[in-house]
Amino acid sequence: MDGGAWLGVDGHRMDWIYRDLDRVRRVREECAEGRFEIGIQPGHPLGVYSPSYVGELALGRVLADPTGELREVQEEARVYPDALRKALVENARWEAPFILACARKGAVRGDAFYVAGCLFRAVGLLVQALHAREGGWVLNEKGAVREAGELPSAPTDFAARAQALLSALGTDPAALAAALDAADALTAEVCGALGR
């Protein structure tokens, strides 16, 4: 984050975000090459995926652009890179099953904290991949599961199933294992669809 503020305009909340345009260009080039990074930032438990910088520009509303430079870069940003699509899909296809396999160790110990973190990460990976498959930018986690569930490539009831995974885990090893079984099934379904 380069700067910004939360504003209230006519009763509506609005994010006012400052970005370094040279950095946005650099990230766009990385996305075009299928490269992305995930950074830690307060308020973003999944992390901030670097493509969100490009997505903000692609989806944002330009209020002032005296030189026309911003609108030019925005037009370029509106084209979702095929290499990024492939990279995010492939990342989810290996990492989501891997993190769920790791979670099994915590489930045996009744470690709901670790299992919940792994489930959250796995669902986040699936959300990123489903959006990428459709050429859609994910700006942050807020509402992303619901939005992913509305995509044509999402499995039936994706959002409800993903939310159910995290809704009431408890600490019982059998309940945690059952949640992971459901997560494995959802992940297999999404990854199978992504592979087509």
Whether residues 106 and 145 share a domain: the answer is yes
Query: Tens digit of pLDDT for each residue in 84-133?
Result: 999 999 999 999 999 999 999 999 999 999 999 999 999 999 999 999 99
Domain hosting 45: range is 3-77
For residue 168, the model assigns a pLDDT of 76
In a shared domain, residues 59 and 122? no
pTM for the predicted model, two decimal places: 0.88
Q: Which of 167, 166, 149, 150 minimizes the C-alpha distance to 158? A: 149
- For the chain, how many structural domains are there in total? 2
* Residues 129 and 39 reside in one and the same domain: no
Q: Are residues 121 and 181 in the same domain?
A: yes
- Residues 66 and 148 placed together within one structural domain of the fold: no
Burial of 87 (0-12, 13-18, 19+ CB in 10 A): buried
